[in-house]
Amino acid sequence: MSRPTSLSKGMLLSLFAALALTLMPLPDEVSPARPYWVALVLIYWNLEAGRLRHLGQAFALGLLLDLLTGTLLGQHALSLIVISYLTERFRNRLRFFPPWQQAAAIMALLFNDRIVQLWVVGLSGDAWPPWTWWLAPLVGLLLWPWVFLMLDRLRQYERLQKT
């Protein structure tokens, strides 16, 4: 029915929403703890729908994110391909975890990503991020069930429309 690699309207919508949420202004105190929206959406589509699973797609998405946020070109690309690779690698296991365990695994993924990004930040000579920066995976953990439910609903709705 749905071809695994095709871009659907719902997916584009969710990606745009993730980009918008990433750029959304937040107060300075909490902005370092901003969850990695694009990664959450990417993980969802890979895990549940088997779409957006090509590393090339993750790479392109990362570059777009770099351009939008004015980051060193390639930083988010690197972080997203690592996430995409790991999700794919443990996909079969992750899918059958109970929800809370799955959320914990997502947090581990996001935490790993923080380390990858810290490596880039450290090498490019930027300031060490504040401690709130490490809260982002935790926020991701708390948000995961909601992202999951919302995107599931979106996908279901889309499927109903198609038939």
Partner 1 sequence: MNFPAGAWSPATGGDQAARTARLMVYGLLATILMVFDYRGGYVSEIRGRTVVLVEPVLLAVEAPFAFGRRLGEELRTRHELQDRIALIEQQLRTREAALMMLEEFESENAELRRLLEASRRVEVAFRAAELMSIDLNPYSHRVLINRGRRDGLEEGQPVIDADGVIGQVDQLARNSAHVILISDPDHALPVRVRRTDLRTVAYGTGQINSLRLTDLPMNVDLEPGDVLITSGLGGLFPPGLPVAEIRTVTRQAGEAFARAEAKPLGRLDRARHVLVVATYSSVTDEGVDAASDAMESQPQDAGPDSIVEDAEATP
Comparison of 66 and 107: residue with beta carbon closer to partner 1? 66
Give the span between the Cα atoms of 102 and 135, in whole angstroms: 18
- Is the torsion defined by CA of 52, 54, 57, 63 positive or negative? positive
Comparison of 19 and 141: residue with beta carbon closer to partner 1? 19
Asked if 38 and 20 touch (Cβ cutoff 8 Å), the reply is: no
127 binds partner 1 (CB under 8 A): yes
Pick from 32, 97, 134, 138 the residue near partner 1 by CB under 8 A.
Answer: 32
Comparison of 46 and 140: residue with beta carbon closer to partner 1? 46
Amino acid present at 107: M
150 binds partner 1 (CB under 8 A): no
Best CA proximity match to 52, nearest among 78, 18, 85: 85
Residues whose CB falls within 8 Å of the CB of residue 129, separated by 6 or more in sequence, listed in order: 32, 118, 121
67 binds partner 1 (CB under 8 A): yes
Task: Name the region of 125 (left: φ>0; alpha: ψ -120 to 50; beta: rest).
Answer: left
115 binds partner 1 (CB under 8 A): no
Amino acid present at 129: P
Pick from 48, 108, 111, 134 the residue near partner 1 by CB under 8 A.
Answer: 48
Binding site for partner 1 (CB under 8 A): 1-4, 19-20, 23-26, 28, 31-32, 34, 48-50, 53, 55-56, 59, 62-64, 67-75, 77-78, 81-82, 85, 88-89, 91-92, 95, 120-121, 124-127, 129, 152, 156, 159
